[in-house]
Structure 1
């Protein structure tokens, strides 16, 4: 397997990113990078990013969550950030991403986790919750979902076509537009940092085609995951934003189908698709509410 590993010097002096890199090797010798902050004995919060971002997306949430008494673990998906990037499109699949993250969780033996997720962090993270519910204490979900063959929303169909056919794929500018916020040039450069070559962006470009909207090979796996979530009675809190055209209204599926969502203080946060840039404090507050609800059940 041909693999690209972004040189370390691309990650030097990133704004608001003082975290030492850690690594775990999973199948095929692929290296997963992650941040691990907070006391080892504190409750873990798994902050799982989506596409086309990396763990840097959570930089405004890691410190406040640690200050609130959590241990934060924030990996880079294979193909993103400081994790290894297979260069062949066929190396990637939805199932492979779930398997790689499961191996990483098992290698660290993470237990009693709260999942904080958005975008592809939700597609992968919720599959992990369904496959290993005993390792999770609850979920804080924002701007994501677990599609199982529904028609693609127009906004997503446009994004999928752009990611596949556009000759340019400026990741930092894409995040800036999706956040509906003016990031600084240094922050935009930080989102670009892991992807210095056209070839290194293969995962970011291919992921939209894996989303199980319409006829898709992953639909049966999604239906099995939904069956597991429909039995998940641990705290499940939705905190979608008011300005995301792709996921708006998607929280209703979870509040109506997941037992753990009943009685939770679901809320609407402010901003676009990348809530971590718009309302990090609101997202951290949702995590705290999930932890508190778990103590009271």
Structure 2
């Protein structure tokens, strides 16, 4: 496996991203970067990004949640952000991403985790929580699901999958802008492009759409079904926080609210924005996280 590492100079002076870097090897020769803000003895809040973003997506949410007394950790998935990037699309699989992420959680020995996840952060985070339930105390999902391949995917996803696989042009900043209602500044667009100095660094981003289980018999369909069986008995708090303008995941929150016991009676909310609600409604999203943790902090 050929591993690429983005030059740190490309991340200099990013707007609203003052966080000190932290790194951890999650496999031999494979380094994961993560943000780690707030008191080390605070309850951990793990914020998982998706496709094709990185921890920069949570830059407006990290400070208020950390200031409320929590330890906020936002990793860059392998292939993204400041983390190492295997150079071939074939180097990536759903199970490998899970193994890398589980290694990170286990090496940091995180417990009592509040999971905040969106997009592929949900596909990975919900599986991770179902497979390691003893480490998680609550889950907050925004614009994300855990597909098993048993229901048809939206046409817009099929188009996106074909584009990611075949287009010679893969403009990460513009892709994030397409999923965001507000207009991102040139500096913000450049920040999303920063991890990818050339096309060979984008294998992880191109791989993700092909890894989603879209029909019965897809790789990881059975594993996701097994995770759902755990979630259907999940009685710890489970909160959905979807936006009103995401054509891919809209309506998915109702499925989770119905099937997951821990979702019953929770303060589910719909925020304004597109797919990347961390860009469109970060203050409101952060407030939901803080409110969910308030009773624990008071205790």
Structure 1: 4+ residue segments shifted above 3 A: 292-297
TM-score by length of 1: 0.97
Mapped contact 1:142–1:238 kept (Cα < 8 A):
yes
Match of 2:72 in 1: 72
SS at the partner of 2:45?
strand
User: Bigger shift: 87-96 or 266-275?
Assistant: 87-96
Deviations 1:41-77 (A, max 9, x none): 1111000000100000000000011112211000000
Per-residue deviation, 1:269: 0.5
1:131-280 maps to which residues of 2 (within 5 A)? 131-149=131-149, 150-215=151-216, 216-280=218-282
1:113-128 maps to which residues of 2 (within 5 A)? 113-128=113-128
CA–CA distance in structure 2, aligned partners of residues 105 and 132 of structure 1:
10
TM-score by length of 2: 0.97
Distance 1:39 1:296, change over 3 A: closer
Per-residue deviation, 1:164: 1.1
Mapped contact 2:44–2:113 kept (Cα < 8 A):
yes
CA–CA distance in structure 2, aligned partners of residues 154 and 264 of structure 1:
31
Per-residue deviation, 1:201: 0.3
CA–CA distance in structure 2, aligned partners of residues 246 and 294 of structure 1:
33
CA–CA distance in structure 2, aligned partners of residues 239 and 174 of structure 1:
22
1:17-96 maps to which residues of 2 (within 5 A)? 17-96=17-96
Distance 1:243 1:123, change over 3 A: same
Distance 1:189 1:259, change over 3 A: same
Mapped contact 1:235–1:294 kept (Cα < 8 A):
no
In structure 1, runs of 5+ residues without a counterpart are none
Deviations 1:234-266 (A, max 9, x none): 110001000000000000111011111011010
Distance 1:207 1:284, change over 3 A: same
SS at the partner of 1:26?
strand
Mapped contact 2:49–2:57 kept (Cα < 8 A):
yes
Deviations 1:153-178 (A, max 9, x none): 11111111111111111101110111
Distance 1:212 1:296, change over 3 A: farther
Per-residue deviation, 1:288: 2.1
CA–CA distance in structure 2, aligned partners of residues 291 and 174 of structure 1:
33
CA–CA distance in structure 2, aligned partners of residues 99 and 132 of structure 1:
12
User: Bigger shift: 135-144 or 150-159?
Assistant: 150-159
Match of 2:287 in 1: 285
Deviations 1:247-290 (A, max 9, x none): 00000111011111011010101100001000011211221233
Distance 1:257 1:293, change over 3 A: farther
SS at the partner of 1:213?
coil
CA–CA distance in structure 1, aligned partners of residues 244 and 31 of structure 2:
36
SS at the partner of 1:32?
strand
CA–CA distance in structure 1, aligned partners of residues 144 and 105 of structure 2:
21
CA–CA distance in structure 1, aligned partners of residues 80 and 270 of structure 2:
28
CA–CA distance in structure 1, aligned partners of residues 280 and 88 of structure 2:
34
Mapped contact 2:46–2:74 kept (Cα < 8 A):
yes
